[in-house]
A and B are shown apart, each in its own frame.
Chain A
Amino acid sequence: MTDWDKKLKLIEKDVYEIAKEGNMQVPLKIFASEKLIEKIKKDDSIQQGINVACLPGIQKQSIMMPDAHQGYGFPVGGVAAFDIETGGISPGGIGFDINCGVRLLTTNLERKDVEPKIKQIMNELFNNIPCGVGGESTLRLTDQELDEVLNTGLDWTLKNGYAQKEDLEKCEENGHMKTADSSKVSQRAKSRGRKQLGTLGAGNHFVEVQIVDEIYDKEIAKIFGITKKDQVVVMIHSGSRGLGHQVCSDYLRAIEDQFSDIVNKLPEKDLAYAPTNSKLAKDYLGAMSSSANFGWCNRQLITFYVRKAFNNTFGDKTKLNLVYDVAHNIAKVEEYKIDNELKKLYVHRKGATRAFGPGHKEIPKIYRDVGQPIILPGSMGTASYVLVGTDKAMNETFSSTPHGAGRLMSRHEANSLFTGEQITKDLEKQKIYIKAASVRGISEEAPNAYKDVDEVVKVADEVGIGKKIVRLRPLGVIKG
């Protein structure tokens, strides 16, 4: 294993750099505390960050977040921006789960209302939301309807009564990427997605009923709809399901076949990219945007089921309002100043969250003065956070901040150390009620298999790439 200590240079508190060398076009910058950098050094993520820095058209720096860990091709917790003229778009730089992301809903309930009925509400949620490997969509979409989902995203959910108008306003891209083109999504991908719209999935995907544990900035929290400690909120973490996974696979293989000259020179095939001016790049953009729209519809349908479950349990006057919905696996065309010149870039965020600072035109009007809300989920049973985007993120990280706790331990290792039963008991001791599609799957998502989310958020906050607003903690978890 490489001795990274010789190469890593601490350039300011919690910011490390590996200078440009060899084939690197730009340096690699890692945002991490002393504790987290030790963990990052243990797997292949730094080498993967360096590999990304070697790709053509990359701007300024290859970036790794405090929650970074080894992925395939690009590291998870990685950000890279490529020139729209000379760079590429890379499915592996976005991840298989296109538009994996999170949304947060506030409620007009408090802990004292929900705690006595926690089992009831969690069972109701579990019965309403298809989850786990066997969970199947309750919708039966025609080809035309599925195309409409892919092409128009949340507009489709509004038209069909699954969304409120405000939900669309408070979603990244208003839940509808205009670059979507469903004809670029293969029949294979459509077949995989068709039965999975409105399902949670498995692995680290969850729905949590949480309470506000601490408010760090009352004014901004209030603008986000979070008014007091012990207020009950709901967090949803899911993505574009098999449809997005298949789109990524399809295009990775298509790039390999069409651009074998490029791919054969890469240190790893998963770094494969389509040059941005190629037809394949445009096709992938159409398919990726369609998958993103599918992902937003998926979280919106789950929201619909969550609202139903809360109304069934706590009455019709229960209101669940969307705070924000943000993706953490996606590529976007965004403008940044590079060497004093405004440039259009393909910003790839793979396990990183967009974090626009105050004033950005893409932030919903009601939040524009304070910045974009960032929803940052912890691992199962631990704290989650709401942060707000900053100007510093705009300058330092192409407006990006971490996406969660980040894995520390392989699933295999977690399975050998923990059992689902033990974790369920441990969570019960902390008064956290868990419902899982598979008890066996719980051990893989053991809280100890992840990095410390509090530490990850502390780094983001102190470095200034995401300002801490609210800390949340769970009362109940639905694990897919």
Chain B
Amino acid sequence: MKYKYLPHTSEAKFIAYGKNIDEVFRNSALAMFNILGETTKVKPKKELNIKIKAKSYESLLYDFLDELLFLHDTKRIFVHDVKNIKIKDFELTGTVECDDLKNYELKSELKAITYNGMIIRKTKKGYEATVVVDI
């Protein structure tokens, strides 16, 4: 399982899984965009490279999701996937595969990423991250 949604009265909450920290970041991105639509149906017509640096895994995850939301809002794109994620010393690089937003009907919009109950932890199988996004 890549991720699952958890109950939260007003916002959207999910837990993402991964064998390693890179994969947990990728699956967090997928979980976030699948709140709005279906990423599997998005054609990967465009590629955008991203680079983000922070001071901890939590703030890096916050900034990573915030950057994706920023690109979604300002470049008017919908995400298919984030490939080649590499994280070293709290610096992330990766490639966003996406298409123009206008080709898809989304059911809602994302306001922001929150720190509400955000946890990234090591498990027996790898890593997991819990995130709440404001919608």
Contacts of B111 in A (CB 8 A): 96-97, 203, 242, 245
Give the docked Cα–Cα distance between A242 and B113 (Å). 12
Bound together, the chains give a CA A73 to CA B134 distance in angstroms of 12
How many B residues, CB 8 Å from partner? 37
- Docked complex: B45-104 residues within 8 A CB-CB of A: 55, 58-59, 62-63, 66, 70, 73-74, 76, 101-102
Q: Which residues of A contact B12 (CB under 8 A)?
A: 410-412
**Interchain pairs with CB closer than 8 A, number:** 113
Q: Is the CB of B101 within 8 A of A134?
A: yes
- B54 CB to closest chain A CB (Å) equals 9
Contact with B along A5-27 (1 / 0, CB 8 A): 00000000000000000000000
| A43 close to B9 (CB less than 8 A) | yes
Report B-chain residues with C-beta under 8 Å of the C-beta of A246.
70, 112
B123 at the interface (CB under 8 A from A): no
Q: Which residue of B lies closest to A436 (CB)?
A: B107
**B116:A253 contact, CB within 8 angstroms:** no
Contact residues in B for A133 (Cβ distance below 8 Å): 36, 101, 106, 108-109
Q: Are B134 and A245 in contact (CB under 8 A)?
A: yes
How far, in whole Å, are A10 and B12 apart by their CA atoms in the complex? 32
A202 and B108: CB pair below 8 A? yes
Q: Which residues of B contact A195 (CB under 8 A)?
A: 74, 76
Q: Which residues of chain A from 392 to 419 have any CB-CB distance to chain B below 8 Å in the complex?
A: 407-413
Q: Known A134-B101, A248-B112, A411-B135; judge A444-B9 contact (CB<8 A).
A: no
- In the complex, the answer to whether A413 meets B7 with C-beta atoms within 8 Å is yes
Closest chain A residue to B7 by CB distance? A410
Within 8 Å of chain A (Cβ to Cβ): is B16? no
Query: What are 17 A-to-B residue pairs whose CB atoms are below 8 Å?
Result: A70-B8, A96-B112, A134-B102, A134-B105, A192-B70, A195-B74, A202-B107, A242-B111, A245-B111, A245-B112, A253-B59, A253-B63, A407-B10, A410-B8, A410-B10, A438-B105, A441-B108
Residues of A near any B CB (own CB < 8 A): 43, 45, 69-73, 76, 92, 96-97, 132-134, 136, 188, 191-192, 195, 201-203, 242, 245-246, 248-249, 252-253, 256-257, 268-270, 272, 407-413, 438, 440-441, 444
Please give me the 10 A-B residue pairs with the lowest Cβ-Cβ distance, nearest first: A72-B116, A269-B115, A440-B107, A72-B114, A441-B107, A96-B112, A202-B109, A133-B106, A245-B111, A245-B112
* Residue positions of B touching A, CB distance < 8 A: 5, 7-13, 36, 55, 58-59, 62-63, 66, 70, 73-74, 76, 101-102, 105-109, 111-118, 132, 134-135
